[in-house]
Structure 1
């Protein structure tokens, strides 16, 4: 049998123990903030029925869904003449009934509908799980990545939107980021702009194009808009709106004049004003992070109100978070009129940012606090007894499993960044005093078992 060279699919990654400690630090930090604001955790399956996912993310999003081939001889179940006449798009539903989830929001909407009799409204949930997208892998963009989502359904209060700004601000600050921007816009404003230029039917095309401004620049956006059917006259109206500058207040006042004849546009601007006011009342420091950005579009079809995007200003990276209000996502599953709003943290991009800025706490590099050396069989019973006493105090400890040379044992401790090593030889066994070696400074001290445990608990 030919030897296979081990590899993993493009856009996926293995994670070492030290990397997992860092990732778990991110998850734990974000989860603590979610819980602080009253959200409870759920989980949903890694894959959903394909019909659950399709039609929720727009044409581009649907193309990026990973489909799962039906098991067995799926081809035999399709008439051969029909099979030969089908293109990829029409064939897919016949050979793939399931798909890996594209995000956590649509599965959450499905969950709410299926469990509507078991949940109390407003229902506040968070979810930290992987998602998959058949995207082109690049820096900060993976095909398999984790999202940390927090949503509330059954409440149209803008206090929810304001609290999400606070959640972003607190969680990212707790992770060590100091310079980041929380961008805000409203899909009602974008819909009003599409009406203003007489192209309401092309709203999705307009938002998808504008949403790429950071990636392809203004010339790229203009070219895409022209390809989608917008005229040079339309673009002349759009241009000053896309390039709107100034304070949040001045932007809103300018847009009030531009959209003064649009009830929908004024409604969106009023919502923005309310959110800004609420955030300022709750936490003025979070309000300072907000930037009203009319070019923010969030290409997903289901957003209907306020939309968010978060970017760090410390590293050249895409968005590290985003979300918005979706007023009738559950309606696609038969439950009409249930409004919702939510945001997501891009854990993998946040990991890359923290790593580049060297912001991970030093204690994420080690799980074991102390290693007990193994000199010989005579001292093994004493070492094992000490090991269990230390672990009973909820201190992470290891016993080196073989009687290797001390240098090898210390090298092992170094490789795992274990900060302390307890040396137990004949001298320690006779005196009752243990030798504790500080691996960072190299200093050694003699301690009784009681004092050793007290010291380890204190650090």
Structure 2
């Protein structure tokens, strides 16, 4: 049998122990902030029924869903005509019933509908699990990646939106980031813009185009809008709207004037004002508003299920795409038969945040340290002496290893270096007889004689 050279699937990554420590540092930091705001953790399966996922993300999103072939002879029940036509899209319902989840929001909506009689509303949950998208891999974009979501369903209060701004701010500051932008907009404002153009049916085409302003510039957006059915006159109306400048209050006043004839547009503006009022009431300083929060009319978010406030977060310290986003989705659970249950949520892009912290060197120095003490193994006699000591140290909460067999001292010390273990304990015949243990600090090289009680105090 030929030996196959191992390789990773494109868009996926392995994580070493050191990398896992850093990832867990991110997850633990986020969880502590989520819990502070009253969110509880749940988990859902890695794959869902295909019909649960399709139709929730728009045509572009549906194309990125990883389908799972039915087990066994999956072509057995496929119609001969479709097989002959080689029509893969038409074949999918016949050969695939399951799919890897695209995000955590739709599975959460499914969870709420199925457990509606068990949960107390409003229901606040957070979820940290991997998702999969058949996207083109590139820097900061993977086919398998973790999302960290916080959502609340059963409450239409815009206090939730304001608290999501605070959650973003608090969590990212706790991770050491100091220069980032929390962008906020409202899909009703975008609907109002499409309405005053006389093309409400093209709302999706408009939002898809203007959402690309940062990537393709105004000229590129104009070309795409013309290709999607808008006119030169429409572009003249749109241009000053999408290029709004000034303070948040100034932008809102300009929008009120432009959208004065659109009821839905004015409702969106009112919701934005209410969110900002809540932030003021929560004692968010003007410094936070000025430095971290931005009203961005071009922010559209590509997912069709957003109906109100929308968010996106970008770091300004590293060239990277968005590291978070979300919004309100009033009718999402209605797709599963539960009408009138409003929801809103945001997500943290853990993998992109990982890369940002790595590039900026923001991980704590001791974050990759697990074992705190390595006990050198000289021979069977000293091993028998140190085994009870290992047990007592671990019982006291000190992460301790005894090298598993007697080996050359150099080899054992190299092991400690490789694992970045900060302390090494040398226990030979002299230490056994005297009761004074030899402790070496691996960073400074200093060595001292120490009793077991002193060792416990030092390492704890």
* Secondary structure class of the residue paired with 1:209: helix
Looking at structure 1, the residues matched to 431 and 72 of structure 2 have their Cα atoms a distance apart, in angstroms, of 65
| Correspondence for 1:395 | 398
Provide the residue aligned with 1:60 in structure 2. 60
Deviates more, 1:100-109 or 1:75-84: 75-84
Do the aligned partners of 2:44 and 2:107 also contact (CA within 8 Å) in 1? yes
- Residues 125 and 152, structure 2, Cα contact 8 Å, conserved in 1: yes
Q: Secondary structure at the match of 1:362?
A: coil
- For the 8 Å contact 2:252–2:269, the answer to whether it is kept is yes
* Displacement of 1:282: 1.1
Deviation at 1:324, TM superposition (A): 0.3
Quote the Cα distance in structure 1 between the aligned partners of 2:52 and 2:215.
Answer: 30
Q: Does 1:325 align with 2:328?
A: yes
How far 1:280 sits from its partner (Å)?
2.0
> What is the correspondence of 1:78-93 to structure 2 with a 5 Å cutoff?
78-85=78-85, 87-93=87-93
Find the counterpart in structure 2 of residue 413 from structure 1: 416
Deviation, structure 1 residue 283? 3.6
CA distance in 2, matches of 1:348, 1:82: 40
User: Counterparts of 2:261 and 2:29 in 1: how far apart (Å)?
Assistant: 45
- Does residue 165 of structure 2 align to residue 165 of structure 1? yes
Q: Deviation at 1:86?
A: 5.9
Of the three residues 375, 379, 395, the one matched with 1:376 is 379
More displaced stretch, 204-213 vs 354-363: 204-213
Contact 2:196 2:261 in 1 (8 A): no
Offset of residue 226 of structure 1: 1.6
Q: CA RMSD in A?
A: 1.0
CA contact (8 A) 2:82 2:91 kept: no
The total of aligned residue pairs comes to 457
Paired with 1:169 and 1:434, the residues of 2 have a C-alpha distance of 48
Structure 1's consecutive aligned runs of 4 or more residues displaced over 3 angstroms after TM superposition are: 285-288
- Confirm or deny: 8 A CA contact 1:10 1:143 kept in the other structure: yes
Q: Structure 2: how far apart are the matches of 1:42 and 1:175?
A: 23
1:310 to 290, 308, 313: 313
Q: Is it true that 1:442 corresponds to 2:445 in the alignment?
A: yes
Moved more, 341-350 or 283-292: 283-292
Which residue matches 1:244? Answer: 244
Deviation per CA, 1:273-329, whole angstroms, max 9, x where unpaired?
111111122142443421000010001000000000001111111110000000010
Match of 1:364, SS state, is coil
CA distance in 1, matches of 2:111, 2:260: 40
1:404 alignment counterpart: 407
Kindly report which structure 2 residues correspond to 1:199-238, keeping only aligned pairs within 5 A, or say none.
Answer: 199-238=199-238
In the TM superposition, residue 214 of structure 1 has moved relative to its aligned partner by 1.9
CA offset at residue 210 of structure 1?
Answer: 1.4
| Counterpart contact for 1:438–1:444, Cα < 8 Å | yes
Note the 1:246-325 alignment, pairs <5 A.
Answer: 246-285=246-285, 286-288=288-290, 289-325=292-328
For 2:148 and 2:399, locate their aligned partners in 1 and report how far apart those are by CA, in whole Å: 28
SS in 2 for 1:25: helix
Please give the residue correspondences for 1:107-186 in structure 2 after superposition, counting only pairs within 5 Å.
107-186=107-186
308-317 or 80-89, which deviates more: 80-89
CA distance in 1, matches of 2:444, 2:32: 34
Q: 1:83 offset after TM fit, Å?
A: 2.9
Unaligned runs of 5+ in 2: none
In the alignment, the residues of structure 2 paired with residue 158 and residue 427 of structure 1 have an alpha-carbon distance, to the nearest angstrom, of 70
Alignment of 1:41-56 (within 5 A): 41-56=41-56
Checking the alignment, whether the CA contact within 8 Å between 1:166 and 1:283 is kept in structure 2 is no
Q: Please say if residues 276 and 287 of structure 1, whose CA atoms lie closer than 8 Å, have aligned partners that are also in contact.
A: no
Q: Deviations over 1:328-355 (max 9, x none)?
A: 1000000011000000000000000000
Give the Cα–Cα distance (whole angstroms) in 2 for the partners of residues 206 and 167 of structure 1.
Answer: 30
